[in-house]
Amino acid sequence: MKFSAKEDLEAPIEQVFALVSDFAALERAALRRGAEVQRTDSLRKPGVGMSWTAAFMARGRQRKLEIVTTVFEPPHSMVFDSVAQGLHSEMRVELVALSPGRTRLNVDLELKPKSISARLLVQSLKLGRANLSKKFHLRMADYARDLEERARRST
Q: Where are the domains of the chain?
A: 2-154
Cα–Cα dist 155/152, whole Å: 6
Fold for 2-154, please state it. Answer: Alpha-D-Glucose-1,6-Bisphosphate; Chain A, domain 4 (3.30.530)
pLDDT tier at 121 (50, 70, 90 boundaries)? Answer: confident
Q: pLDDT above 70 covers what percent of the chain?
A: 100
pLDDT at 37 over 90: yes
pLDDT at 32 over 90: yes
- Residue 144 confidence (pLDDT): 96
- Residue 61 confidence (pLDDT): 85
pLDDT at 154 over 90: no
Please, which residues have CB within 8 angstroms of residue 47's CB and are 6 or more apart in sequence? 69, 72
